[in-house]
């Protein structure tokens, strides 16, 4: 089981989450070699919060579906998106977000699109 935990920790270097035993996992910091990642699938990883300063400069697709994200701050979400300059798709479906919160997050993405010509961010929610 320890081998599984180690692998699980490696795939979530910038997120707060829980491990397979539902114990809190703290962020483990930046890992080398993540600069070129374009797609990251963290589906079902029990993620509860978005990081403020992710360092994945080439990330285009982020799958955070089937996690435990709830009541995401629009301000935090804006900072999160601005720190991922190449992000084009973020899947937030099957998270316990309220409809109101999901609408706020979509508005934040639309404002970023308006600020940066040519950047379109698709947000998938329930």
pTM for the whole structure: 0.73
pLDDT, tens digit, for every residue of 46-105? 999 998 788 888 899 999 999 999 999 999 999 999 889 999 999 999 999 999 999 999
User: Where do the structural domains in the chain lie, given as residue ranges?
Assistant: 30-124
User: The tokens of 82 are what?
Assistant: 């601005």
CA 68 to CA 71: how far, in whole Å?
Answer: 10
Place of tokens 């010509």: 117
pLDDT of residue 16: 42
CA 24 to CA 19: how far, in whole Å?
Answer: 7
CA 94 to CA 78: how far, in whole Å?
Answer: 21
């Amino acid at each position: 089981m320890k081998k599984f935990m180690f692998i699980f920790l490696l795939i979530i270097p910038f997120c707060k989450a829980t491990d397979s035993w539902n114990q809190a996992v703290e962020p483990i910091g930046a890992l080398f070699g993540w600069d070129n990642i374009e797609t990251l699938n963290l589906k079902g990883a029990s993620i509860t919060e978005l990081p403020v300063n992710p360092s994945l400069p080439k990330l285009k697709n982020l799958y955070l579906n089937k996690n435990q994200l709830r009541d995401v701050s629009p301000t935090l979400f804006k900072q999160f998106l601005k720190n991922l300059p190449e992000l084009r798709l973020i899947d937030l479906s099957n998270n316990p977000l309220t409809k109101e919160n999901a609408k706020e997050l979509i508005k934040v993405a639309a404002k970023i699109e308006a600020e940066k010509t040519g950047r379109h961010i698709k947000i998938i929610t329930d």
